[in-house]
Structure 1
Amino acid sequence: MQNVQVKAESSAEPIVYVVDDDEEMRGALLDLFMVTKKRATAFPNGMEFLQAADTNAAGCVVVDLRMPGGTGLDLQKQLISIGSKMPIIFLTAYADIPTSVRAMKAGATDFITKPFVNQDLLEAVDHAIQLDSERRKTDAEGDRIRGLADTLTPREKDVLWQVVSGLMNKQVAYELGISEMTVKLHRMSVMRKMESKSLADLVRKAELLQKSA
């Protein structure tokens, strides 16, 4: 098995996983990533990749579409099934439009036909890593906001959803069967616990909560 890490840097640095049954191609890709100062590791098939790789690592996967013992699409399905969100770039020697559409619909970030221009692949990898970084930031922010929401009492949550729906305090009081003063107190508590200094920020956080529900 060729499993060569071309840079021994911090594991926090994004990694490019190469999965290709062609040994010459694996070596060429590792060389390409080495000279462009990217951390990379290669595997000859999906099974060895899944056994040894950190599928939750920051980075992306560059995988050959057609490999004996399991295609790139098979690997994509397995990654999805285990909850991995690593971006995938497919390499293929065949211009198979239906397959490429299927791969992209399943979440692939790019589909590159061999032989390819090195710069095109490098740009695809940079784009995939950027998307992964942005997704991780969004996930982290979602986790933080869910943590804030968990500190709300049931009544405060009721007030939160009424307020972000656009209702005024008087309307919220009517809907919940409580006094307007009680609504005001709950609203102040919600703003404090959700760390929001404006209604716009509270609405943004509520939208993230709904998306992650």
Structure 2
Amino acid sequence: MTAENTKISPEAKGRCTIRLVDDDPSVLRALRAFLTMDDWQVECYASGKDFLASSLEAPGCLVLDVRMPGMTGIEVQEEMIRRGDRLPIIFLSAHGDIELAVDAVKRGARTFLVKPPKPGKLLSEIESACYADIERRKIEAYSESLERLWNTLTASEQEVARLVAKGLSNSTIGSILNISERTVRSHKEEIYSKLDVANAVETADFIRDMEASAEKRP
């Protein structure tokens, strides 16, 4: 539960939003003022339900109180997991809630800080969480863009593409798939055009990148 040694650029920082969820208005005011002074964009929510009704489009992280009336921070996390929301969570917990917070980390939260959090530690954890969220979104966007291009190929073209990527000749591919060399050449033209590649090597690079980026996605 230690912050990574990561630095976020001012431009990236400006695109991030820190979501604060706490039923104590004084805590929200204090944290908002502190984070705003450090040039973070901040949104405050007095309940888990209010937060869950908000948009998570902007990258950033969630600073979430463990124990709240109505809907606890743990229940908020459970609902986010159910919905597939992967915004990084930093839990704030009182001493009596540490066991709950540890369990939350085991379920995917980044860390927990005991209330009141040490300013330097809080900023470090927030920066680390935001950096991780930005990187995750980059990987997902790249992976999705490759998948979209791949899915423009027909099933037959995908078969040919995988064999082309192995460096096989047109005649060998034709024999394996029981199609003519002319058909293989036609498929290759479509593959190169749709994937925006120029040859077999670039086709192999495309497939390797697509598979590698898919493995990195959470």
The two structures have a TM-score, normalised by structure 2, of: 0.77
Deviations 1:38-61 (A, max 9, x none): 11121222122223x213332211
Partner of residue 36, structure 1: 38
**Bigger helix fraction:** 2
Deviations 1:105-134 (A, max 9, x none): 432122222232111111111111111211
Partner of residue 195, structure 1: 196
Q: Is contact 1:196-1:202 (8 Å) kept?
A: no
Deviation at 1:16, TM superposition (A): 0.7
Partner of residue 168, structure 1: 168
| Higher deviation after alignment, 88-97 or 62-71 | 88-97
Deviation at 1:208, TM superposition (A): 4.0
| Mapped partners of 2:77, 2:141: distance in 1 | 24
Unaligned 5+ runs, structure 2: 1-13
Q: Is contact 2:102-2:112 (8 Å) kept?
A: no
Q: Is contact 1:142-1:208 (8 Å) kept?
A: yes
Q: Is contact 2:143-2:214 (8 Å) kept?
A: yes
- What SS does the corresponding residue of 1:90 show, helix, strand or coil? strand
Paired residues, number? 199
Unaligned 5+ runs, structure 1: 1-11
Deviations 1:62-94 (A, max 9, x none): 001112222211001112333322211111123
Partner of residue 48, structure 1: 50
Partner of residue 9, structure 1: none
1:56-205 alignment runs, 5 A limit: 56-94=57-95, 99-164=100-165, 166=166, 168-169=168-169, 171-180=172-181, 182-197=183-198, 198=202, 199-205=204-210
Deviation at 1:206, TM superposition (A): 4.2
- What SS does the corresponding residue of 1:16 show, helix, strand or coil? strand
**Percent pairwise identity:** 32
> CA distance change for structure 1 residues 72 and 46 in 2, over 3 Å: closer, same or farther?
same
> CA distance change for structure 1 residues 187 and 97 in 2, over 3 Å: closer, same or farther?
farther
| Mapped partners of 1:211, 1:61: distance in 2 | 22
The two structures have a TM-score, normalised by structure 1, of: 0.78
> CA distance change for structure 1 residues 211 and 29 in 2, over 3 Å: closer, same or farther?
closer
- What SS does the corresponding residue of 1:60 show, helix, strand or coil? strand
| Mapped partners of 2:213, 2:184: distance in 1 | 23
Higher relative contact order (CA 8 A, sep 6+): 2
- What SS does the corresponding residue of 1:26 show, helix, strand or coil? helix
